[in-house]
Each structure stands twice: as structure tokens, then as C-alpha cells.
Chain A
Amino acid sequence: MSTAIESEQTFVDKFPDEARVVRAAFLSSFFALLLGAIFGIIQTLHRTDVARIIPSTDYYTVLTAHGVFMVISFTIFFLVGLFTWALTRSLDRPLLNIKITWTWYGLMATGMTLTGISILAGFVDSIDMSADVLYTFYAPLQAHPLFYAGLTVFIVGTWIAGADWFRTFLAWRREHPDERIPLQTFMVLTTMTMWYIASSAVAASVLLFLLPWSLGFIDQVNPTLTRTLFWFFGHPVVYFWLMPAYMLWYTVLPKIAGGRLFSDPLARVVFVLFVLLSTPVGIHHQYLDPGIAEGFKFISMTNTMFLLLPSLLTAFTVVASVEYGARQRGGTGLLGWLTNLPWRKPEFTGMMLAGLMFAAGGFSGMVNAGMNINYLIHNTLWVPGHFHLTVGTAVALTMMAGTYWIWPQISNKPIYSSQIGLFQVVLWFIGMALMSNAMHAQGLLGVPRRTAEPEYSGFDYPTMFGGFEELNIQIAIGGTLLFVSTILFLGNLVLTMGNPKVSGLAEPLPSPVSGAEDAPQVLDNLRLWVGIALTLVVLAYALPIAAIINRGGLLGPGVGTYPVWLAPLFDALADAAAPLFGAVADLSASVVEVVR
């Protein structure tokens, strides 16, 4: 551990080049947050009919922008910044080649700009470009090719980022052959492993089907296949968003609370469980899809339910670490220690409130995961209600709170105002409590998500937990508070950037109560975990995907027109694959019978 040196020097003192990358990534992230929040408030006021400043047909351009900027851009740019910091800090060595680092940052920024342009062009009628397909881009709705191309470039950027971190780790390993992987580095490597597995499917979907199709090379695609490939990626991606928050909860929050991480081994176990289980579950987003056997849905559900385990364990470990801190600070009693915590610090209160909301999100997540109860809430406003608790608060609020702690480390500038920070995180909590709660309730009334005008002419919603109108008011007020909170956060950060540099801001991270030496060596065996993860993915997906292709064909049920220059290749592929798919499908049919 490098605690002695760190107590004098901040991250930026030691690693100025890396700190610049981290700041650039964070600023890209926060720019996306600003755009996302602007679109967020527009759509909130629109769908609740409080203020409609756009025509309803433009609502979906706004919604696409909100979704993409928030969950692709804001979260992932923050992640790459945080991981660059964490890996460099915990290995205590610079990245191998900072030019490569800037290259992946540049690719991500370029890709996101292209995608952003294709989305925003949807507002301008005179530009013949639009990508109103929402962030899930389900075919056969088709976006402009630039949308898919930009996403591809962005994802390739993240892949190079992962490679950059792995290479740096391997260089460290050569210098330290016998040491345990430092915890933060372990978190970076396991998360990126998961990301490689997950993003391969969306890359395949975009490169093999959606991009060629949008360019006119192929005439049609199989909607169930591309949807399945999306969710192969789409569930693990939620853990990709979440892992930066977990990293902060495990490694930074205990320190702020005045204590230490309760258990390093359990933290490792949790991240390994995510590598293993976060991918073979995506079919839980397709419980109500036709063309997928019930047995596959059931398998997906069991995996999903077991995926609760790492999060439930995290809840215990993180709260115990905070309790440890409180008791170190003189806290007593069964719950009295709760008063001995640094509630005035926005970084602490923000993360704690984020964790509390995650606990609530855990409940709605269990409902989403339950196979047949999905009929109750599928595609209703319940679902956005759920994920604004998880990614929209557990992740987003932790990232904002984490920024209050980390920004001084990467810039040597103290936060402009802790009071504004504290007010801002509490405001977010209140706003989200209102908005999310009312969204859940409207979902139970049957109000659909993703719609500009949820009031219909032919029927009225039933009244439970307050009527439709009343809940709309709650959503509108909540959304407004969230918007104000975002602006306060960004304003505080901008003012911070105007602060003069000072010294003495270094905050070393203490070692855990139960340290790495207590963790079985096998936990660090990444090859083993990758092997098991891939096996589970194949078990969960080979048969469903084979069955989908067997039912509808690679390019969808119906007549297909193939582009001339690609046709021979596709024919050859299809000929070669047909018997194989047939065999696999027969096998799958019998397996399904057994499972039933």
C-alpha cells in the first residue's frame, strides 16, 4: 500500500497525465448529464401535460436523447474516468501509454458526438436524418446509419479502454508477481470482463444486421433476433452502470464514514458473481415476447433471482463498513451510531441516500424479475419508476456524490460549496422519491411508459393510490426538483473549477478490516471466471438464439431481398448453418419439453 506517500500527494500530483484524462472523461459525462436533464424535464412536463413546448411527435426525439445521453453517455464516460483513476491509484503506477488512453477517449467522444447529431437532427425537419428509435433501437424501427455507426465507434473506444487497463495491469503483474490484485483494480478488471462478454452481442447485432440494413445492404432483419441480442447486452449493461457506484460504496464510502471496508474477500466474491451471472439473464426483458419458449424464460428468471445475491451481500457489507466507521467515531447503541456519521458532507449523504434508494429499487426489481408477474407491470410507467431508483439514483447520485470527493483529488481544487452540495443531493433524493413513487403507482394503474400523451380518449384509468392526475402532479414536481438539483450540481462544479489550486487535499484510502490476504487465491483467477461465465452464457443463450433463427430465419420471417454483393456470402452461410440450426432447434425443443 502506498498510503504514506499518498497522505502528502494527491492523485493529480502523482499522475498528472492520468488526472487530465479523468477530468476530461468526467466533463464529457457531466455535459451529457446536462443535456439529459434538459430533455428529462421537457418530457416530464410534457407527458404529465403540465407544459407542452414541443409537438407530441417530437416527444420521441426527446426521449431518445434523454435515454442515450443519460445511460450511454453520462454513465459510461463517468465509468471510464473513475476506472482510470482507480486502476492507476491502486496499482500505483501510470498507464502504459497515455497516447493510447487519449485515443480511446477520442473514439468515445467522437462516437457519441456522431450518435448525438443523428438524434438531435430529428428536431430539424430540413435535415433528412433522424434516430427516433429510443435507446433500445428495436428493429424494424430504423435509425439513420450515423446513429449505429456512432454507437459502434463509442463501444470500440470502451474496448480499447479495457485493453489499456488490462495491459497496465499486466505490466504491474510483471513487477509484482506475488502480490494480490489490489481491490480497485480487481473491480476494474472484472467489470471490463463482463463488458466484453456483454457488448459482443450488441456489436454483432449492429455490425451484422442493423448497420448493413440501415445502409440498404440488406432488406430486412429478424426483429426477435436483434431484440434478443440487444437484451443479451442490455441486462449486463445495467451492472456496467452500477459497478462504478459499487466501487465507490466499497472503497470510498467507508473511508468517508471514518472507517474501513468490512470485508475485502466478500467484495471480490460480489464482483465475481456479477461476471458470472449478469449476462445469462437478458431474456427476463422478453418475458412477454412471442417466439421464445416458456422454459427459456424460466431459466432466465432463476439466474436473475440469484443475481440478487451479490446486491444483497453488498447491502450488508457496505452498511457494516459504515457502522464500523460510526463506532470508530464514538457511535453507540443498536441504531444510535447512525447519528455519529458525517451527514454534513455531501459525498457521504449523497452516497447513503443513493444506497437507500437502491434498496427500494431492489423491491421493484424483484417484481420485474418475476416471470409471470411481468404481466402486471411490463412496459408500464412502473419500469421507468424502477430504473430511476437504480441507474437514475443509485448510480447517478453516487456519481455526483463521488465527484465531490474525487474532484479535489484530480484537480487540487477544493469544492466550491459543500452546503450547496448537501442541499443538492438531498433535493435529488426528495425529487426522485416523488417522481419514482408516482411512476410506480401510475404503472399499477396501467399507464404505459414511452408515450407523449398517456391520457386516452376511450377510457379512464382506475383510481388507486391517488388518481392519474394527482400522480401526474407528483411526477412533475419531482422531475422539476431533479432538474434543479442537476443544475446546482453542475453549477457547483463549474465554480469549483474556477477555484485556485491548493495543496493538502489528499485523502488516502485505508485498508479493509478483513483484507485481501483473507481472500482465497482462486478469486483472483480471472481466466477461470471468464471460462465459467462464457459457459453459462452459452447454456442460457445457444438454444434460444438457435430457436429464434430457426423460427424466423436470420433475416426475419417473410420475403427477403438481399443486396447483390452480399448475397453469395449470405447464401453460403445460410446453407452451411441450416442443418446445424435444425439439429440445435430439435434439441432445444426436447429440452424445453423437459423443462416444462
Chain B
Amino acid sequence: MHIHAYEKLWLALSIVLILALIGTVTYGAVGPGVAMVADSQSTVDAAALDEDERFSEPRVEQVGENEYEAYIVAYQFGFEPSPIVVPANSTVTLHVTSRDVIHGFEVVGTSANTMAVPGEVSEITVETEEPTEYGLVCNEYCGAGHHVMEGKINVVSQSEFESRGGDSE
């Protein structure tokens, strides 16, 4: 088959580009350690969240030094707890599920973003820095009131977090 030399050159460049793209993503995974939402959590009965030890009480709890776990339920049309209060300068693992239909969980302007699927649990770990407030939106259409589905994530100082009694409701 006859392929013009220039086109061969372009073919080679294209393959280099493709490999570079895959390489960048791989670098992101091993260098800065960006991890994907995956299947680490077991499934949950969406119709009986109140009987599940993870989600019966949506909350943020301390599990180690500077380590926290948050259990968040998305529903038509909001998030629980509201607001989600987490301490600054700590590692927070968010567990997100849905009580009804598929929702999104997007912390506006950051790279924390995941789906909330009924029956499944999304687990993502993030590191908080200084105290600040983030907007939280549902970015997957979930019904006629989708556009009112919002929440807050408030990153507060460690001392303030403790004075609230640790857990946020």
C-alpha cells in the first residue's frame, strides 16, 4: 500500500501524541497520586439506607489523626448532611450514595467530582487546606427540581470543628 512520506510522518506524530496523552494520565495517577472512583465500597440497599451502618446517619467523623470520613446521601433534591463541615489541613474520605435516582456530586471549582448512584457508594479521598467554603452542586439531571439541588462544604479550622462536637449534622 502506498502511503505518502508526509502522511507517514503524521502517523508517527499521531502515535507519539496518543502515547503522550496516556503517559500524562498515568503520570497523574502515580505522581500526584490521582485515584479514580472505583469499586472499593460494597453495594447498599438504596431503599433501606437507614439500616446501613454507613448511611443511617449522614455525618463527618474522625477516624485517625487528621483523618476523617464523611458519609453523604444525595436525594431529590439535596444533600445530607447540610452543610458538610470538614476540618482544615486534613485528609477526608467522602462516601457518597443516593437514596433515589442518579445524582452528581461536584464541589464547584475543585477537582472533587463524582456520580452518586443508588445502590452504589462512591468513595473519594481529598486533602483539605485552609478554611474556606465551597459550593456543592448536583451535576446530573435528577428530576424536575434538579436546578435547586445544591449544598455547601465548609472547611473550618480544627478547633472550630472540635467545638462543634466533631460531627456535623
Contact = CB atoms under 8 A, between A and B. Distances in A.
Nearest to A379: B139
Interface string A373-385: 1111011100000
Contact of B10 (A222, A305, A316, A520): A316
Contact of A305 (B2, B21, B114, B139): B21
Contacts of B111: 375-376
Range of interface residues on A (Cβ < 8 Å): 35 or more
A367 to B, nearest CB: 10
A374 B113 CA distance: 9
Contact of B122 (A222, A290, A297): A290
A224 B18 contact: no
Interface string A455-486: 01111111000000000000000000000000
B44 to A, nearest CB: 7
A339 interface: no
A308 interface: yes
A451 B11 contact: no
B21 A290 contact: no
A378 B1 contact: no
Interface string A38-81: 00000000000000000011011001000000000000000000
B79 to A, nearest CB: 11
Contacts of A342: none
B46 A558 contact: yes
Contacts of B145: 57
B45 interface: yes
A345 B142 CA distance: 45
A263 B3 contact: yes
A425 interface: no
A271 B115 CA distance: 34
Interface in A243-280: 262-263, 265-266
B114 A288 contact: yes
Nearest to B20: A305
B43 A453 contact: no
Interface stretch (B53-61, B62-70, B97-105, B155-163): B97-105
Given A313-B10, A446-B109, A459 B25 contact: no
Nearest to B123: A290
14 contacts: A57-B145, A262-B4, A266-B7, A290-B41, A290-B114, A291-B120, A294-B36, A316-B6, A316-B7, A373-B28, A448-B139, A452-B146, A551-B39, A556-B119
